[in-house]
Chains A and B, each alone.
Chain A
Amino acid sequence: MIPETKKAMSRDQLLWVYQRMTLIRIFEERLKKLVESGVPTGPVHLYVGEEAVAVGICAALDYSDWISSTHRGHGHCIAKGVDVRKMMAEIFGKSTGTNRGKGGSMHITDFQVGMLGVNPIVGMGVTHAVGAALTSKVLGNGRVAAAFFGDGAANFGAIHEAMNLASIWKLAVVFVCENNLYADATPIEFTLAGGSIVNRAAAYGMPGVRVDGQDVFEVWEAADSAVSRARAGQGPTLIECATYRYYGHHQSDNPLRYRSAEEEEAARLRDCIVSFRARVLTEGLLNISDLETIDAENQRLVQEAVEFAKSSPLPEPTELYSDVYGPDFS
């Protein structure tokens, strides 16, 4: 039974949400195949299964708002609007990538769309979102920053310092914990004292809400009120999203070494895209041709991204030495 939501998404929002969730899914599934075939190389942390979190949060943000990300960042990037061609090129280490081939999967960044950077030092990106919100406050530009982190990072000191700082300074931050139950290969019951991430919000004087991270409507609703609160100068909110990653921590990780096939199957039964489709079709919010049009378009976008990445030039060898320092001041 899908719970009734108090607010309703517009048709445009529904189309956007579906387009972004499925674009992430197709991008990641395609990338998985490519990585398994040997190219591109380098660590890749797939977001498959968690799409409703990134998309539900970003659906509540404006184009000019900021997000910070984690090592598992492709979904956040796509949800915030990073060009998938440039993303794929970056993952391939090409000069046409978002970071001109100098960052790879774990550092994809696009300030043009408010994406502060995928950041694989677990938990550190959250403090950059706090800094972006500090900028908003000092400059008075009303921009909100959403900080994604996982259940693993929930036990990392920087997160706690960041929550405390954002709260005492009433910064426009939305802390988004993607609780996928595993910190790498360690189950949450082995890492989390007190049994709850969301309850920790109270200690920092901010509202905390736990939502079903497989339900994009629930995530969006929580994000929408957190963003409104932040934009009104009332400070940060913590949203804990219960979610699940379908694949391993990275491409070479077999999750069946630390979790059961039954658990995986049960999680897949609550797939965020399947349930979204069922709901919008049952309720007549979108029709099948809307969805099929988006599916076809996404297939094309990802195909185009792969071709773009493969055909793009590698960085010039001298790029090794460029951009160590910024340009000199005059």
Chain B
Amino acid sequence: MTMKKQTPVRELTFSQAVNEAIRQEMRRDPTIIILGEDIAGAAGRAHLGLAEAWGGPLRATRGLFSEFGPERVLDTPISEMAFMGAAVGAAMTGLRPIVELMFVDLIGCCYDQIMNQAAKMHYMMGGQIQVPMVIRIPYGTHGGPYDTSGGRPGYGGGAAAQHSQTLYSVLAHIPGLKVVVPSSAYSAKGLTISAIRDNGPVVVMEHKALGSAAKGYVPEDPYTLPLGRAAVARCGKDITLCGIGRMTLVCLEAADKLAGEGIDAEVLDVLSLAPLDESAVLESIKRTRRLIVVDEDTPTASMARDIAARVADKGFDWLDAPVKTITSANTPVPFASVLEANYAPRADQVTAVAYELVGK
């Protein structure tokens, strides 16, 4: 990931980077609208001096209502089927809607609009129309290790089985959808702008724990990152750790620990699940000859196993060790912190498997 030109650079959170991407694009193109539940909040209460009660459930859309007004920043009723479908209809007829689905767990409420409608229109209609829409979806568990020191409550505090899932594999599975998973403030801004400018439906998965936590340097000027490309987050020669979204940070944490043990790990940030940058994975294992894929989704029919299968198919001859996958448990997400902490992959699991593969 290199910057195209020198522009002022500031430290932003992941959410601030997403916000800036949307804001800059909405200034550029009046056909961009944004809709979803509580994008602003307090809709229609301006006479009480109230506006933007929420600015999005994760505050990523804060300030957009004040700048662009109710015509372009639309708080919807809790009607996922209708507003996702309306976004498809609007995208086909001249707008470029950005839809926020509050959590990926709600995808069942509007999955048809995504997988049968948005994803298929361009193909099924013989290419006569485009569906330029962005679907932003927060996902993921609470994140972070179980903390007994009092930093986090030890009795619960996660959001449990219906508000903590990852589920991006059910989107990446659908031909016609592009699915990206930024891992940093920098990739969040670049991929969000690319998603907005793309001419088809693009899903941007935003990990909940990164929203306010993942701070990083972000150029002020708009920039794009290519959809369908992975990025090397850390160069190494002994093993490739392939991360998706927050798992890239887990891989980087593991790589730091491995470095202390004399193992030079490369971290590949997948960034795009569909299309998947298969050649970047293959190029990396040509260098390192070992691969661990770390994926927060559940294992069955997962991206982790898809990547592993592709490498088994096309990169077998370069491998010195079996490909390993580390995923969340094949269970619903539990509530109690002590259980949730054991649910998603952790750096210590990654290092343990790495030792095994490298033979140390």
Known contacts A107-B125, A325-B200: A121-B89 contact under CB 8 Å: no
Minimum CB–CB distance for A161 against chain B, Å = 3
Neighbouring A residues of B173 by C-beta, 8 Å: none
Other A-B pairs, 18, CB within 8 Å; known A107-B125, A326-B198: A97-B126, A98-B126, A111-B92, A111-B129, A124-B117, A126-B85, A130-B89, A132-B89, A134-B89, A134-B95, A136-B93, A158-B85, A165-B86, A323-B123, A323-B126, A325-B122, A326-B130, A328-B198
**B: number of interface residues (CB 8 Å):** 48
B83: chain A residues at CB < 8 Å are 161, 165
**Could you tell me the distance between the alpha carbons of A128 and B117 in the complex, rounded to whole angstroms?**
9
Contacts of A107 in B (CB 8 A): 124-125
Complex: how many Å from CA A133 to CA B84?
14
Q: 13 A-B residue contacts at CB 8 Å?
A: A98-B126, A102-B124, A103-B125, A130-B85, A132-B90, A134-B33, A135-B94, A135-B95, A161-B79, A161-B82, A162-B81, A162-B85, A169-B74
Q: Cβ of B126 and Cβ of A134 under 8 Å apart?
A: no
Q: A interface, how many residues as a size bin?
A: 35 or more
Decide if B94 touches A165 in the complex (CB within 8 Å): no
The reply to whether A131 and B90 contact each other, CB–CB distance below 8 Å, is yes
Write out the residue numbers on chain A whose beta carbons fall within 8 Å of the beta carbon of B76.
165
Docked complex Cα distance between A325 and B127 (Å): 9
List of 7 A-B pairs having minimum Cβ-Cβ separation, nearest first: A131-B89, A127-B85, A161-B82, A100-B126, A128-B89, A326-B199, A99-B126
Could you say which residues of chain A place their CB within 8 Å of the CB of B176?
324-325
On B, residues with C-beta under 8 Å from A are 31, 33, 71-72, 74, 76-77, 79, 81-95, 97, 112-113, 116-117, 121-132, 175-176, 178, 194, 197-200
Do A131 and B85 have beta carbons less than 8 Å apart?
Answer: yes
A132 with B127: CB separation less than 8 A: no
Question: Cα distance A195–B121 when bound, in Å?
Answer: 35
| Min CB–CB distance A174 → chain B (angstroms) | 14
Residue on A with the closest CB to B132?
A326
Q: Which of A132, A138, A322, A325 contacts B92, CB < 8 Å?
A: A132
Is there a chain B Cβ closer than 8 Å to A117's Cβ? Answer: yes
B131 near A326 (CB under 8 angstroms)? yes
CA distance A117 to B198 in the complex (A): 22
Q: Which residues of B contact A68 (CB under 8 A)?
A: 89
Which of A124, A136, A169 gathers most chain B CB within 10 Å?
Answer: A124
A152 touches B (CB below 8 Å): no
The reply to whether A161 and B72 contact each other, CB–CB distance below 8 Å, is no
- List residues of A (119-161) whose CB comes within 8 Å of B's CBs: 119, 121, 124, 126-139, 145, 157-158, 161
Asked if A135 and B93 make an inter-chain contact with CB atoms under 8 angstroms apart, the answer reads: yes
Please list the residues of chain A having a beta carbon within 8 angstroms of any beta carbon in chain B. Answer: 66, 68, 97-103, 107, 109-111, 116-117, 119, 121, 124, 126-139, 145, 157-158, 161-162, 164-165, 168-169, 322-329
In the complex, the answer to whether A116 meets B175 with C-beta atoms within 8 Å is no
> Are B33 and A138 neighbours in the complex by a CB distance under 8 Å?
yes
CB distance from A235 to the nearest CB of B (A): 15
Are A127 and B95 in touch, CB under 8 angstroms?
no
In the complex, the answer to whether B71 meets A138 with C-beta atoms within 8 Å is yes
User: Which residue of the partner chain A has the closest CB to B131?
Assistant: A326
Q: Are B123 and A324 in contact (CB-based, < 8 A)? A: yes
Q: How far is the CA of A262 from the CA of B82 in the complex (A)?
A: 40
Task: Give the most central of A68, A98, A139: most B CB within 10 Å.
Answer: A139
Query: Which among A136, A323, A325 has the highest number of chain B CB atoms within 10 Å?
Result: A325
Min CB–CB distance A258 → chain B (angstroms): 27
Q: In the bound complex, what is the Cα–Cα distance between A122 and B200 (angstroms)?
A: 24
Chain A residues with CB below 8 A from B128, complex form: 98-99, 109-111
When chains A and B are docked, how far (Å) is the Cα of A324 from the Cα of B95?
A: 21
